[in-house]
């Protein structure tokens, strides 16, 4: 069945994708979803876009709950439920799921895509989601780098309020994006560090063991560590613990899958850290420039203050001799005006040079 995606405003819309790639758009409430996939309300609440829950990849008895940024999905061993399929960021993911979920048939030599299809259904769906979120965050990082580096270079060449405000906004955007990438990285790292959590994601294997007559014997460890102690899986595994052979968790395939995307998200985080270091270096450079300008202003203030003091002394001499008081020694001694002016100027200039020389000798101003 060909799926036609139409732009409609469905507040609680989901898309149900089957193993064969066909899909159906559903407009149902959370109770219908809970009955459909047998999921607890607390797990479904994680996918509520109105609530701020951290990124999570949770393995439950029959489903995998995904909350990765805008990707909110429930994966079973046969189907994928994806929230808000009409969103512009979700439509490409839906198309990619439809392209990669169906298995190839025929007798021809299997291609790389066919070998990829040998993965369990839930792993193929999980891989599409991880690839989409890693590509999304990497694209946002590249956009931020494209805008940030020229802005930082412009700020170093010209410090202005406009450039400072532009860099401030870019730094805030970088901090928010770094936190988002860090959450995805931490979730993948925690999942890789716990084999039991990875084993909980093997839905097809758990389903096969449930349908097998000998499922009560030789149950692997990931069945013994079921997250729901009241489940049938847990009870049957617990009853046969004494006689079953302990088998190590075979999570190598999933570990390699998660490791690949962990490396990709780690590379995105490294880009952001490099950008942060560049911003910090730019801030240090700007602070050095501002300190240099501040020192130059202090030196200018020192020169102006020294010159004002010297001119004040010179003005004092002129004020004294300019008083309207009769002096007998002024009669017949008109040449004294010339000498007073010359000597007053020389004394003021000498005093100014002495202050500047003293300041340079003490390192108060540059040479």
pLDDT in tens, 224-234: 444 444 443 34
- Give the integer Cα–Cα distance in Å for 292 and 280: 18
SS3 label, residue 17: strand
The answer, yes or no, to whether residue 280 has pLDDT greater than 90, is yes
pLDDT at site 51: 80
SS3 label, residue 27: strand
Which residue from 184, 226, 185 is spatially nearest to 203, judged by alpha carbons? 226
Separation of CA 200 from chain center: 28
pLDDT at site 348: 86
pLDDT at site 334: 63
Q: In this predicted model, what pLDDT tens digit does every residue of 322-341 receive, in sequence order?
A: 766 666 666 666 667 777 77
The residue with greater pLDDT, 76 or 359, is 76
pLDDT at site 351: 87
Q: In this predicted model, what pLDDT tens digit does every residue of 194-219 receive, in sequence order?
A: 888 888 898 888 887 776 655 444 44
Helices (H), ranges, the chain:
30-37, 41-45, 91-100, 112-117, 121-157, 161-192, 195-199, 203-211, 221-224, 232-239, 252-321, 336-361
The answer, yes or no, to whether residue 247 has pLDDT greater than 80, is no
Q: In this predicted model, what pLDDT tens digit does every residue of 92-141 receive, in sequence order?
A: 999 998 888 876 444 444 454 554 446 788 999 999 999 999 999 999 99
| Section 307-315 average pLDDT | 84
Burial 209-219 (b: 16+ CB within 10 A, else e): beeeeebeeeb
Query: What is the chain's mean pLDDT, rounded?
Result: 79
DSSP string, 232-297: HHHHHHHHTTTTSPP-----HHHHHHHHHHHHHHHHHHHHHHHHHHHHHHHHHHHHHHHHHHHHHH
The answer, yes or no, to whether residue 13 has pLDDT greater than 70, is yes
Residue 193 — very low, low, confident or very high, per pLDDT cuts 50/70/90? very high
Which residue from 39, 73, 42, 69 is spatially nearest to 54, judged by alpha carbons? 69
At 55, list the tokens.
Answer: 């990124």
At 316, list the tokens.
Answer: 């004092």
């Amino acid at each position: 069945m060909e799926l036609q995606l139409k732009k409609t405003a469905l507040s609680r819309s989901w898309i149900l994708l089957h193993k064969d790639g066909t899909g159906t758009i559903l407009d149902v409430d959370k109770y219908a979803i809970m009955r459909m996939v047998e999921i607890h309300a607390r797990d479904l609440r994680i996918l509520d876009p109105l609530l701020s829950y951290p990124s999570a990849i949770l393995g439950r008895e029959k489903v995998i709950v995904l909350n990765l940024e805008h990707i909110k999905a429930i994966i079973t061993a046969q189907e994928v439920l994806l929230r808000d399929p009409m969103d512009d960021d979700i439509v490409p993911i839906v198309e990619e799921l439809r392209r990669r979920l169906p298995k190839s048939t025929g007798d021809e030599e299997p291609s790389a895509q066919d070998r990829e299809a040998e993965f369990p259904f839930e792993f193929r769906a999980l891989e599409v989601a991880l690839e989409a979120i890693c590509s999304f965050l990497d694209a946002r990082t590249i956009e931020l780098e494209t805008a940030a580096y020229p802005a930082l270079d412009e700020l170093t060449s010209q410090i202005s309020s406009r450039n400072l405000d532009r860099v401030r906004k870019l730094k805030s955007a970088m901090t928010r994006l770094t936190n988002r990438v860090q959450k995805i990285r931490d979730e993948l790292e925690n999942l890789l560090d716990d084999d039991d959590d990875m084993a909980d994601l093997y839905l097809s294997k758990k389903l096969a063991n449930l349908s097998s007559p000998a499922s009560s014997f030789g149950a692997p460890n990931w069945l013994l560590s079921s997250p729901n102690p009241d489940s049938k899986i847990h009870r049957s595994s617990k009853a046969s613990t004494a006689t079953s052979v302990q088998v190590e968790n075979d999570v190598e395939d999933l570990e390699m899958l998660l490791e690949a995307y962990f490396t990709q998200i780690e590379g995105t985080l490294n880009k952001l850290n490099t950008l942060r270091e560049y911003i910090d270096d730019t801030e240090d450079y700007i602070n050095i420039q501002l300190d240099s300008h501040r020192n130059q202003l202090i030196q200018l203030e020192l020169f102006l203050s020294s010159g004002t003091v010297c001119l004040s002394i010179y003005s004092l001499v002129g004020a004294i001799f300019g008083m309207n008081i009769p002096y007998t020694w002024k009669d017949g001694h008109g040449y004294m005006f010339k000498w007073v002016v010359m000597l007053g100027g020389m004394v003021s200039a000498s005093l100014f040079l002495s202050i500047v020389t003293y300041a340079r000798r003490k390192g108060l101003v540059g040479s």
